[in-house]
Amino acid sequence: MTARSPFSPISLAAGLFALTLLSLPVRADPLQDASKLLKQNQHAQALEQVDKFLAAKPKDPQGRFLRGVILTEMGRSNDAIAIFSRLTEDYPQLPEPYNNLAVIYAQQKQYDKAKQALETAIRTHPSYATAHENLGDIYARMASQAYDKALQLDSSNSTAQTKLAMIRDLMGGSIRTGVPPAVAAPPALAAAPKTPAAPAAPAPKAVEPAKAVVPPKPVVVAAATAPHPGQPAPAAPAPAPAKAVEPKANAGDPSGEVGRLVNGWAKAWSKKDVKAYLAVYAKDFAVPGGATRAAWEKERNLRIKKPGNIEVAVDDLKITANGPDQAVAKFRQHYKSATLKSSSNKVLHLVKRDGRWQIQQERIGN
């Protein structure tokens, strides 16, 4: 991804836009193998397993859906669109194919098509939270385009500059494009050739779903007592600046190492120490949207070093160990810059390499 002016349109924030995956039944077949390979980013091998399965069952909806997800991750967008579109025709009551179509359209910056697909998903399944959250992201993308157009017509429009900067900061300080690495697990679908069975109970989630950031609620400070007539109302106390919170190790954190790494990551970001900040990310860090590592690092460097202070704090850190060299850290991230103060949930997937923990994947959500 090439560098752009500070007021260029915001691309799709990968960590905020969830690509869904239909749950697979627990059984030893090519679909189960393909699902595991997909989680390991072995896309070609996963596609081979799915094709093997579909050769025997070409109408199987789960196999077709999984193939669409794999093709999306491989960047074969047109092929994936064809699969998801056909699934919406064969199973119009399912929201997941519409959602995944919206992901691809958003990646291509066809925001109107993405919006229509998500609205259809919501009409089909009003309680499908992922589609609601993704629709909010699309509205933000469309708003950023409108602000950018306003700045093209009038570069001195400080109001548009501030609003666009707030959207960029609200998306976590990182401008990203494309389909996210996170895969959510909605209800299972029975492999019926004509009419799918009612959704079953959710299967165990291989990877936690990504969720959209909710803009922070304004802080309202009420006066302790009503002022006497003729006296000015007491001034509301200024909010205390965000402070780094030293994470406490929990049962899932080996020797507290992950907690110390997360805290050091937040401090490096706050100090604008780009070198220390980037050093925390693994060499195989899942750069959103297929951008190159060099382009992503350049973008982060520009964002972090922009004028003004940055304060990043970590709160309510929870760590889950997935073996001796894998862990997931979930916490509340408090972010403050010259233009925005916000709080959001953050998830980091970490791996231990050469004796130290590193971030392999990150997203905003639960």
Could you give the residue range(s) of every CATH 3.10.450.50 domain in the chain? Answer: 254-364
pLDDT for 72 beyond 80: yes
Q: Coil, helix or strand for 227? A: coil
Residue 156 has what pLDDT?
78
Q: How confident is the model at residue 254 (pLDDT cuts 50, 70, 90)?
A: low
**Does the structural domain 14-184 have CATH classification 1.25.40.10?**
yes
pLDDT for 4 beyond 50: no
For the ranges 181-195, 246-260, 274-288, the maximum mean pLDDT occurs at 274-288
Token pair of 248 as six digits: 């406490």
Q: H-type helices in 9-128, by residue range? A: 30-39, 43-56, 61-73, 77-90, 96-107, 111-124
b/e map 320-336, b = 16+ CB within 10 Å: ebeeeeebbbbbebbbb
Cβ atoms of 144 and 167 within 8 Å: the answer is: yes
- pLDDT (tens digit per residue) in 105-144: 988 989 999 999 999 989 988 888 888 888 888 888 888 7
Residue 150 has what pLDDT?
83
Average pLDDT, the chain: 73
Q: How confident is the model at residue 43 (pLDDT cuts 50, 70, 90)?
A: very high
Q: Coil, helix or strand for 3? A: coil
Residue 195 has what pLDDT?
35
Q: Span 47-68, mean pLDDT?
A: 91
Residue 20 has what pLDDT?
56
Residue 169 has what pLDDT?
63
- pLDDT (tens digit per residue) in 317-354: 999 998 889 999 999 999 888 777 778 889 999 999 98
Instruction: Report the percentage of the chain scoring pLDDT > 90.
Output: 31
**Does the structural domain 254-364 have CATH classification 3.10.450.50?**
yes
CA–CA gap between residue 171 and residue 156 (Å, rounded): 24
- pLDDT (tens digit per residue) in 276-316: 999 999 999 988 766 788 888 988 888 898 888 999 999 99
SS (H, E, C) 104-160: HHHHCCCHHHHHHHHHHHHHHCCCCHHHHHHHHHHHHHHHHHHHHHHHHHCCCCHHH
Residue 188 has what pLDDT?
34
Residue 253 has what pLDDT?
67
Residue 263 has what pLDDT?
93
Q: What is the pTM of this model?
A: 0.43
- pLDDT (tens digit per residue) in 197-235: 434 444 433 333 333 333 333 333 333 333 344 444 444
Residue 328's φ and ψ, nearest 5 degrees, are -125, 125
Q: Kindly report the number of other CB atoms within 10 A of residue 293's CB atom.
A: 13
Q: Span 68-88, mean pLDDT?
A: 93
Could you give the residue range(s) of every CATH 1.25.40.10 domain in the chain? Answer: 14-184
E strand or H helix that includes residue 300: helix 293-304
Q: Which of 188-192, 210-214, 304-308, 359-363 shows the lowest per-residue confidence on average (mean pLDDT)? A: 188-192
Cβ atoms of 211 and 46 within 8 Å: the answer is: no
